[in-house]
């Protein structure tokens, strides 16, 4: 029913556009009567261009909806559960192994990247590379390195974060630290400063740089303890901030004790 209403709304919008342009054409024809057909033909051409622009806008909207659905379907596949034995009678999508799921996801994301333009192409390419790492690690990392230079800032940040995690997992701590530091400075919406610094602190710990790690954790936790909203009320700590508090307490209890006191919980009542 909802789909029919949307379709009907588009049809009515198209009819209003057609009626309006034809009405303008008729009125101009009457006013220009006797002044030659050249001007009238020129105006007819202009209206045709406007009509084509309207049709392209409608077509572009349909393609965007189609691309979003295709990307969403691919993401559903990539996030489907892995179960060695499917639940009897269940129609939910699942895979026997993580590799099976990754192989299917790689195909789905490649299809989206091949068929649609940006912003969907680069996002599909990112998910493609993320799943490819499971199947062919070297090739997946190579694709991530290319995506780290993407013009889409969200995709570039995600790719850099994935590369940093890969470097960390491979024991390439200097390379991982460099990427995490870069992401912390960028402080993007998709990879915040706290998230990047939390991972950087973990790398410092692995390198035996406990003081540097504690300094980073302290700065995250201190900001969380003192942060306030525009009304002056304490802001609920983010998951990254809460993790930083826990890690700091275990790593350096003396520094943890130097944190500002935890603000009292807000009741949400106006009095």
Cα–Cα distance measured from residue 244 to residue 197, given in angstroms and rounded to the nearest whole number: 9
Backbone φ and ψ for 251, nearest 5 degrees, come out as -80, -45
Report cis status (omega within 30 of 0) of the bond before 232. Answer: no
Q: In angstroms, what CA-CA distances link 96 with 81, 90, 131?
A: 9, 14, 16
Going by the DSSP 8-state scheme, the letter that residue 118 receives in this structure is T
Question: 132 with 139: CB under 8 angstroms?
Answer: yes
Cα–Cα distance measured from residue 271 to residue 252, given in angstroms and rounded to the nearest whole number: 38
Domain boundaries, the chain: 9-29+40-76, 152-262
Cα–Cα distance measured from residue 183 to residue 192, given in angstroms and rounded to the nearest whole number: 8
Q: pLDDT 10s digit of each residue in the chain, 271 long?
A: 444 444 444 444 445 444 544 454 454 444 444 444 444 444 444 445 445 555 445 445 677 888 888 989 998 999 999 887 766 656 678 898 999 999 999 999 999 999 998 888 999 999 999 999 999 999 999 999 999 999 889 999 999 999 999 999 999 999 999 999 999 999 998 899 999 999 999 999 999 999 999 999 999 999 998 998 898 888 889 999 999 999 999 999 999 999 998 877 665 544 4
Task: Please determine, looking at this structure, whether the domain spanning 152-262 carries the CATH number 1.25.40.10.
Answer: yes
CA 103 to chain CA centroid, nearest Å? 22
């Amino acid at each position: 029913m909802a789909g029919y209403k949307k379709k009907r709304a588009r049809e009515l919008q198209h009819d209003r556009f057609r009626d309006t342009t034809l009405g303008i054409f008729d009125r101009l024809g009457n006013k220009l009567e006797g002044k030659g057909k050249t001007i009238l033909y020129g105006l007819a051409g202009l209206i045709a261009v406007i009509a084509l622009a309207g049709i392209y806008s409608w077509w572009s909207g349909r393609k965007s909806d189609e691309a979003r659905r295709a990307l969403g379907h691919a993401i559903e596949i990539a996030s489907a559960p892995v179960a060695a034995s499917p639940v009897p009678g269940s129609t939910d999508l699942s895979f026997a192994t993580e590799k099976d799921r990754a192989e299917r996801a790689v195909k789905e994301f490649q299809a989206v990247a091949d068929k649609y333009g940006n912003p969907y192409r680069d996002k599909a390419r990112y998910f493609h590379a993320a799943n490819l790492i499971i199947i062919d690690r070297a090739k997946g990392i190579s694709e991530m390195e290319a995506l780290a230079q993407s013009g889409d800032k969200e995709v570039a940040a995600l790719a850099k974060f994935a590369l940093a995690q890969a470097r960390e997992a491979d024991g390439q701590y200097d390379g991982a630290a460099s990427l995490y530091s870069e992401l912390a400075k960028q402080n993007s919406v998709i990879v915040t400063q706290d998230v990047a610094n939390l991972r950087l602190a973990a790398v410092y710990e692995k390198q035996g740089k406990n003081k540097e790690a504690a300094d980073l954790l302290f700065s995250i936790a201190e900001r969380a303890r003192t942060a306030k909203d525009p009304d002056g009320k304490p802001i609920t700590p983010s998951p990254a901030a809460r993790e930083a508090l826990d890690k700091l307490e275990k790593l350096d209890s003396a520094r943890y004790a130097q944190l500002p006191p935890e603000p009292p919980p807000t009741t949400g009542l106006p009095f």
